[in-house]
Structure 1
Amino acid sequence: MPLFYPALYVSVHMRGRSLAVNTIQNALNALKAMYAWQSYYSIDVESRFSRGELLQSHEVHSLRDFMQKPLIDKNDGNVVSISRRPKTVSTTNQYARMSVIADYLGFLADQLLSPSTSGREGIARMVAQIKANRPRTSNKSNISREEKHLDDAVLDTLEEALRPGSDSNPVREYAVQVRNALMFSILRITGLRRGELLNLKVEDIDFAKNTLKVVRRPDSKGDARAYQPVAKTRERVFPLMPELVDRIRGYVLSHRNKVPGAKKHGYLFVTHKPGGSQGLPLSNAGFGKFMGELKHTLEGHSGIHAHSLRHHWNYSFSKTCEIQGVTPEREEKIRSYLMGWSETSGTAATYNRRRIKEQASKAVLELQSKHFSNAKSGATE
């Protein structure tokens, strides 16, 4: 039997909000770390909360320090302990753990404490104290991601290598070559997430209107994958060039529909390799294998992955908007729709930061060039 309150928290508090599977898995890992902390210090928070006792300051501090430690597996894979090695997790990991734990302990205390006003105030103070003890996180990782530049020439070379029939193609089966080349093109042209790509169904492609629809399908009964890829962001319709739609049609009619079992579901990309999984929707592991092969196709470009293509799409979109004279406000709204974000999330501005940096650098260099030109002119006179 699963632990009651963590199961209740995940089922009601997280699943009820339609959060992504990976988000829930990460939360469960954070709760495992919290239970390891309880075991290490012989603390039973459920009993404590039932008696009306909340965590004290020194306990919050010990929780903070303990969340720096990496989990280790024991007893046939059940995580029951924390590594005693001096190695620590990243501050980002520690921050995420404590964020989940603060939310969970607030939820747990709300379930177990008496509904008095003073009790509610105490819960709020405890949650705030846990959050206040989270490590400071810098935006260094975000900056490094922005600096990972994907040149169009590199992507063009990759597309040529993935071209069906190419001698440099990393796979040999022609149908798989067609599928992989199509997946890469869709990721590059649309900026879709990995989960959105693997969640596509044939019916999501309007072959008459040349559009692709991103649809959320949490817990789809027709999906036999253990870890079902889902659309993490909002549903939207994405226009496609007729050439790309023709390629999708060609893959479906000439290759996908000939794979045994593929017609039993509507998912666009399927497993072609003979075996028990043949004809099933392409799994995350299968897609990961494709991306792994892609990294070794071009020497020196191991940083290429699905999300880097999404970054590149946003960068290219910014350049196009600049050429067309689209206002920043209008650009942000269009980008938010095409990427499936809320207009108030601020994510659109984050993805545009690299382009803003380039514009700033260009302006600074123009000022310097003007200064040195004036100085040279003055010296000549």
Structure 2
Amino acid sequence: MKLSARRIKSSNGERLVVLVDESGMPLFYPALYVTVHMRGRSLAVNTIQNALDAIKALYAWQGYYGHDIESYFSRGELLQAHDVHSLRDFMQIPLRRDNGDKIVSISGRPVTVSTGNQYARMSVIADYLGFLAGQLQRSSMRASEDTQRMVAQIKANRPRKSANSNRDRHEKHLDEALLDALEDAMKPGSGNNPTREYAVQVRNALMFSILRVTGLRRGELLNLKVEDIDFAKNTLKVVRRPDSEDDARAYQPVAKTRERTFPLVPELVDKIRSYVLAQRNKVPGVKKHGYLFVTHKSGASQGRPLSNAAFGKFMGELRSVIEGCNGIHAHSLRHHWNYSFSTICEGINMSPEREEKIRSYLMGWSETSGTAATYNLRHIKEQAGKAVLDLQYRHLRIERKGDVA
């Protein structure tokens, strides 16, 4: 059975995600699970999408081994230890998809998904199977206890979260000279520019500049409207617009963090104004919405807000412009902004408490989340490394280049 996670935009602008079969019919229990357990908690549509991806992997597992979980549960049978072990191993496998986002087969490549991905899959599956058993089994104290044991066994088989399984956010850092060279190559009219159309060159260069100097998330950038730029006060405002009715994108980019306002240098504001007046406003269809960055290419999507897919294609093109740009993506620029902010705060002797407070505001985080401290960790590690070397130079009485030990 080929399954697809389909996004739907309702008449009031709400984005929905449903798991459908080849005929387009939603699967009943996944839809019920999302309605009861996820939408009621006002979870983001991308969170629901990730949960349905895990449930698709569950259906792929049962299809591969010929299981029918719903029939098992209806007969009062639950997953046994060997089933859980099989499920655990299967959740390591990357699943190949076609362009319709349907699981079609198990990839033959000798690779596995990340530990974090496997952990997330099994967490969702444990919760979903507990819900499914509760729906299909006769209600009794023993059935409830057996279900809880099955759920606990699935969770116990999740991989351990290793500190080395994912690169820590504080370790991601871009070279300033590389970013300068990339920005030069992206200037409208540059011979190294990967885009031919001048208006698109202007748009892309502007998007890159805004990401670099503000640390905005991709969704926040694509969610910007012209009205969010105060051309008199030289500010940019990040506004939350979940389920916006005037946004035609099914995969609507949204601001995940708190609303906030950035001051901008007049020169950058002038570039935004120039793009709006000389490029954006000449594109047919832009008057139907106020989104800042739009599709310029002729076709059905011309004039519409720039999609996540189109933005991803733009970022992908940057990796081939200059050697060493393989690590360039929107979030790496956010990490780099945080590192640069740390060095500026150090240069003006700002207290750690005030630095964390300001960083939390500019990034849209709660001051109590602890995220600001996480992003500052790389800079702290560098400072610690310099201090250790200074101690060694002094202890060994070695003269250091540029100063005296």
TM-score band, normalised by the shorter chain? 0.7 to 0.9
Q: Does 1:291 align with 2:300?
A: no
User: In structure 2, what is the equivalent of residue 45 of structure 1?
Assistant: 69
From the superposition, tell whether residues 371 and 304 of structure 1 become closer, same or farther in structure 2 (CA, over 3 Å). Answer: same
Q: Distance in 1 between matches of 2:235 and 2:375?
A: 24
Give 1:352's match in structure 2, choosing from 376, 386, 393: 376
User: In structure 2, what is the equivalent of residue 97 of structure 1?
Assistant: 121
Q: Distance in 2 between matches of 1:375 and 1:308?
A: 37
1:20 and 1:230 in contact (8 A); partners too: no
| Aligned-pair CA distance for 1:155 | 1.6
Normalised TM-score (structure 1)? 0.88
Q: Distance in 2 between matches of 1:208 and 1:353?
A: 37
Q: Distance in 1 between matches of 2:178 and 2:110?
A: 41
Give 1:10's match in structure 2, choosing from 16, 34, 40: 34
- Unaligned stretches of 5+ in structure 1? 377-381
Q: Spell out the pairing of 1:92-241 with structure 2 (5 A cutoff).
A: 92-113=116-137, 120-140=144-164, 142-143=166-167, 146-241=170-265
RMSD of aligned alpha carbons:
2.8
Q: Distance in 1 between matches of 2:145 and 2:371?
A: 33
Task: After superposing the two structures, state which structure 1 stretch, 7-16 or 89-98, moved more.
Answer: 7-16
Q: Does 1:257 align with 2:281?
A: yes
Q: Distance in 2 between matches of 1:211 and 1:371?
A: 51
Q: Spell out the pairing of 1:59-78 with structure 2 (5 A cutoff).
A: 59-72=83-96, 78=102
Q: Distance in 1 between matches of 2:244 and 2:166?
A: 33
Amino acid at match of 1:271: T
2:169 and 2:375 in contact (8 A); partners too: no
1:18 and 1:218 in contact (8 A); partners too: no
User: In structure 1, what is the equivalent of residue 338 of structure 2?
Assistant: 314
Q: Distance in 2 between matches of 1:61 and 1:373?
A: 59
Task: After superposing the two structures, state which structure 1 stretch, 119-128 or 348-357, moved more.
Answer: 119-128
Q: Distance in 2 between matches of 1:330 and 1:102?
A: 42
| Aligned-pair CA distance for 1:125 | 3.6
| Aligned-pair CA distance for 1:347 | 2.4
Q: Of Structure 1 and Structure 2, which has the larger fraction of its residues in helix?
A: 1
| Aligned-pair CA distance for 1:355 | 0.8
Q: Secondary structure at the match of 1:140?
A: coil
Task: After superposing the two structures, state which structure 1 stretch, 196-205 or 171-180, moved more.
Answer: 171-180
User: In structure 2, what is the equivalent of residue 279 of structure 1?
Assistant: 303
Q: Distance in 2 between matches of 1:237 and 1:201?
A: 13
Q: Distance in 1 between matches of 2:338 and 2:108?
A: 43
| Aligned-pair CA distance for 1:73 | 5.1
Q: Secondary structure at the match of 2:220?
A: helix
Q: Does 1:362 align with 2:390?
A: no
Q: Secondary structure at the match of 2:311?
A: helix
From the superposition, tell whether residues 128 and 347 of structure 1 become closer, same or farther in structure 2 (CA, over 3 Å). Answer: farther
Normalised TM-score (structure 2)? 0.83
